Chain A
Amino acid sequence: MIWLLSALITAAAAASLVVIILRRHQPVPPAEFDRAVYEDQLAETDRDEERGLLGPEEAAAARQEIRRRMAQIDGTASANTAPGGSGFRTATAIGVGLLVPIAGFGIYGSLGTPDFPDQPFAERAKPPPSDDPKVAEMTEIVAELERRLEAAPARVDGWLLLGRSLVTLQRHLEAARAYARARALAPDRAEIAIALGETTVIAQGGVVSDDAMKIFADAMDLDPNAVRPHYFLGLAAAQRRDFESAVRRWTDVVALSPPDAPWVDEVRKRMNAAAEAGNIDLASISPSRTRPAGPTAEDVRAASELSVEERAEMIIGMVERLASRLEDDPDDLEGWKRLARAYRVLGEEEKAAAAEERIRQLETR
């Protein structure tokens, strides 16, 4: 497609020049152009005199001077002639017709990236298609949460909840933006940086970009014993074919993890592959970290991370606010519909039924 379009532009460009070149030119003697300017100056002098801007004497002097200059025009200057006639024209046309595409495609070939499609944000952020009703419900809750955050943007937990919900919906790009907002509000919380880094990597198709590396490096400064920054920085190194650093990072990951952690096997596998690719003797590399006694900060975070129930509770908090608002404004049909849906999602069948009853009342009114 890109090739087709660029070929079309090139053809149009070259053709517009070639057509002009092939056209027959009727030369006008250059002296005529000079004369035209002086004629115009004379006319202006006439106008100025008529308007009283110039006195008769001044006007006469000006006219005399302009006429004198007119007389000096070199009337002998020949008009342009086209040497070589039509053969020359054709040769020029062919030359120009060839040069434009050759230069265009030649330079583009070395500078351009023809296979790189546009990546407008809206397209990248498009949620994966789904006909799961749960997803539809969740999408609405997310939208509600976004509205709330619009009004109260300083709530770290709100942005975190939004981020997690978006991750669940596989909308990683937006999730990363939500985490970025949370991180801006609480820059000293390692777990937020980690979540942001992780989502960024997923949003960028598994590549650990420089941006993501910086985020993980910050997270590591904040919490040196967190496992995931080590893991992703190792991944970044491996992606940059720096296998030795990768192996070092991953050695630390294994050292920092509980021996029975579910990810240890996978990390070992990757470590071996990297060691092989980089011709590295695994035995020569010893971990630079040891697992601290007691739970790590990350363990604590994992434990304190909102469980599904807690997350639901936060949403319930929202739902309760909605419910109390509807008590004050019981005729808000849309509000009741939202409330009923929310209760259904939360499994509060009785309350949902009550809300639906109210909807029926309003609709039949």
Chain B
Amino acid sequence: MKALFFILIFVGIAVAFWQIVKLLGLLKGNQVATEKENNINGWLMLGLMVILYLIMSVSLYKCRWVLLPKLSASLEGEHIDTLFMLTMGLILIIQFILQFVIFYFSFKYRGKDKNYKARFFADSHKLEMFWTIVPTVVLTALIIYGIWTWNMVTDVTNKDQNPIYIELYAKQFQWEARYAGTDNILGDANVRNIKGMNTMGVDMTDKNAADDKTVLKEIHLPKGRKIIFQLRSQDVLHSAYMPHFRAQMNCVPGMKTYMGFTPSVTTEEMRKNEDMVKKMKGITEIRKAKSEKLVASGEDALDPYEFDYLLLCNKICGNSHYNMQMKIVVESEADFNTWLASKKTLAQVLK
């Protein structure tokens, strides 16, 4: 019933619009634009241009510190960032020019004079050639640069980089990870082997599986070593998204997918990064303000924000999709080795 009430309100507002215009006497008369209206709307077009530029500049200015840090946390990500900045610069330039031309022409040629003759200008091969060829050349360059970058960042073949293999395993609504152990080979796995502690369905008859190490909640990565992730899912599609490393790949039930990168900034270093300091400060202030309200209503205050790398799920996967994450810690190789050594192997866990 309450829904009906709201619907009636909306209908009322709509009727009110019509009635107001009727009262103002604007319903009557010619319904085709006159010179006067062309003039007003022409000026408004110029106004729209100003508003659009305003929305763009305010967004650009205000949103500086919410963006991901300019510092990519992986070596491969740096190439993506260069390409990104180049493309974004190009986009902004084209956007500013074209929007100006549209609105300026709309303003300049507003039909304010009855006797003005529009120019019969139907074709110009020169102009058309020009604006077919220029985008073609620019795009060819972008395509070549783009594909070159893509080939590099998606290369997960084992060359001479001595990569570390880690499996990320997704399920509703949790991440697990498995390190390949001393042999650096991940043992086979299938969901049909899931039983008790063997939550990832690792095939223990495979000789490579015994030394694998599974971890929950957080994974650690060494700085400067190539990591190759093998991704699996046990139920529905998930997507392993690590925005700070500029990395993402879907986890597909029934198959393995791969992605790789080389972490280049440790968690500690990232926390000291200038952009990140500003971002953390901003978020901490927001959380402080929120905490005051919470405390006033008798609830616990929020923790101040401290930066951590995160693994997010970025493919709709069910009702807790919005809270499926895992912490990532990047540290020096020595710290990493100590951490990994403290974990039990799968053979020990399942004994």
Q: Do A and B come from one complex?
A: no
